[in-house]
Amino acid sequence: MSSQIPSFFSNDIVLHVEGIRKVYPNGVIANDNVTLSVFKGEIHAILGENGAGKTTLVNIIAGCIKPDAGEIYVNGKKVNIDNPRTATKLGIGVVHQHFILIPALTVIENIALSLDSGFKLDLNKVREKILQISSLLNLKIDLNARIEELPVGLRQRVEILRVLCQNANILILDEPTSVLTPIEVEEFFRILRNLKEKGCSIILITHKVKEALSISDRITIMRKGKVIKTLTPKETNEEELTLLIIGEKQNSEFISLTEGNNKNKEILLLVNNLNVKGDRGELSVKNVSFSLYSGEILGIAGVAGNGQKELIEALTGLRKPESGTIIIRGENVINKKPKSLIKKGMAYIPEDRIGRGVILTMSIAENAILKIFEENPFSNKTIMNRNSITDYTQKLMKKFGIIAPNPNIEVRALSGGNIQRLIIARELSYNAKILIAENPTAGLDVRATDFTHRMLLDLRSKGMGILLVSADLDELLKLSDRILVMYNGKIMKEFNRNEYDIYKIARLMLGIEV
């Protein structure tokens, strides 16, 4: 056994993970030698940027994914958590980032579902148990309400009740506050403190520095899959934590960008007072206004889930905005369908390459012409011309370095980097003037990332206007002429290239006013 920690078998440690490592099939090292301990009755915050590996760690402890290396100890005993059931039995309760409640069922039915109640469903017994726990914690909730009728804050309460009913005494909450309003957050913290008093240990995953400071007993910072440090709120402050989260960055990293061609700039895209609702009906984009010029890369910085997705979907015609205007070359294109926006010269590299970017079960050629198959020579609008499609795709594959035996190979046989090349190739296939790139390098290896960056810079120099929406601050600083920081659906501030200040931007991204 590799344990060298003296207090290892201390009664106070309820959960200890040692040397956890997880490499995803695409090569991303999401957890690298992660070691941390959680004491009985403490609130332990795990703080880190998007992609730091927090959710991966949670999923490993919850038994949802298998680590490549490392050990987990619960109450001093080494355990093998190979599925979520085992975690539950060990008293580990997880509230995932994405809720797993069934909307059409009531609160009580949802909770009953997750309990091992044998063959016969005794709702009365479940009700008694819930009432017992909820009164203990002073949690109010209508047990007969259907989940779909409840606001997000209350749904979360149901999730917490659900894991408590499974007799969890180690509670893991993955980004629980990201869906809550400030008032709900206060109420939520009250519940956490209550739980703590009752002896529960709580792991609170968050990327919000302020929250971690205000609620937790100890804070562990993760960055790029590694644990950087564990400290108590008393011995640190916002400034230091922010630094630890984003890491050391050289300012020289982002001055190499050649000056854009400032002359003959024209406004390609003008967005005014745009309001867009999210999937849950909450306002996700709030009064956003900006303009995108030709020959520039305009970066949008922000932690995922702050309205970027909804903004992009409104711009590309995939989501109906509530109000505002989107003007492309003098015409208001709000409420236009994707097809007319494509015709207007809008290209889009989606983050979700597999779900939205390509059709995995269709060939490279079919994907390559997905946006232009109704044009000459690929078809005469009615009948497809397979030969010219194949010829075209062969040339495209050569030009963009897409490696595959032939154009009729299904896309699912390609690597992530090749799929990204294919998407870029397709998006450049119809002389678009505006390109929206959504986290274009997420999950790509170094080579593919470099290719993508070069491509974007090349397009910029050719006069394209590029909206680069990215959760990767390094990427934004390296590539963009201007950066808008988005937080909670609003544009917080605009930075010109000569004003870039990584800490200011990072703090704004985390919702800390400068």
Ligand X SMILES: Nc1ncnc2c1ncn2[C@@H]1O[C@H](COP(=O)(O)OP(=O)(O)O)[C@@H](O)[C@H]1O
Contact region with Mg ion (CB under 5 A), list: 47-55, 61-69, 128-136, 403-411: 47-55
Residue 56 contacts which entry, Mg ion, other proteins, ligand X, none (Cβ below 5-8 A, type-dependent): ligand X
Which residues, 6 or more positions from 508, have their beta carbon under 8 angstroms from its beta carbon? Answer: 301, 485, 487, 492, 493, 514
DSSP states of 340-354: HHHHTTEEEE-S-II
Is residue 148 a contact residue for other proteins (CB under 8 A)?
no
Q: Using the minimum distance from each CB to other proteins, give the nearer residue, 265 or 277.
A: 277
Write down the least CB distance from residue 389 to other proteins, Å. Answer: 10
Query: Packing angle between helix 182-197 and helix 123-137, nearest 10 degrees?
Result: 100
Angle at 269 between CA 264 and CA 274, to 5 degrees: 150
Write down the least CB distance from residue 484 to ligand X, Å. Answer: 22
Write down the least CB distance from residue 66 to ligand X, Å. Answer: 12
Is residue 374 a contact residue for other proteins (CB under 8 A)?
yes
Tell me which of 115, 221, 358, 491 binds other proteins, using CB under 8 A.
358
* Interface contacts to ligand X, rule CB under 6 A: 24, 26, 28, 30, 48, 50-56, 442-443
Output the furthest CA–CA distance in the chain (Å, rounded).
Answer: 76
Strand order in the sheet with 297-301: 346-349, 434-438, 465-470, 297-301, 482-487, 490-496
Is residue 206 a contact residue for Mg ion (CB under 5 A)?
no
Q: Using the minimum distance from each CB to Mg ion, give the nearer residue, 305 or 345.
A: 305
Write down the least CB distance from residue 28 to ligand X, Å. Answer: 4
d(CA 244, CA 238): 10
Is residue 55 a contact residue for Mg ion (CB under 5 A)?
yes
Is residue 355 a contact residue for other proteins (CB under 8 A)?
yes
Residue 358 contacts which entry, other proteins, ligand X, Mg ion, none (Cβ below 5-8 A, type-dependent): other proteins
Q: What is the DSSP letter of 260?
A: P
Is residue 306 a contact residue for Mg ion (CB under 5 A)?
no
d(CA 393, CA 390): 5
Tell me which of 318, 327, 457, 512 binds other proteins, using CB under 8 A.
318
Q: What is the DSSP letter of 2?
A: -
Is residue 371 a contact residue for other proteins (CB under 8 A)?
yes
Site for other proteins in 377-436 (CB under 8 A): 379, 381-384, 408, 410
Which of 343, 349, 365 has its CA nearest to residue 427?
349
Residue nearest to Mg ion (CB): 55
b/e string for 335-361 if b means 16 or more Cβ within 10 A?
Answer: ebeeeebbebbbbbbbbebeeebbeee
Handedness of CA 290, 291, 292, 298 (dihedral sign): negative
Q: Using the minimum distance from each CB to ligand X, give the nearer residue, 26 or 167.
A: 26
Binding site for Mg ion (CB under 5 A): 55
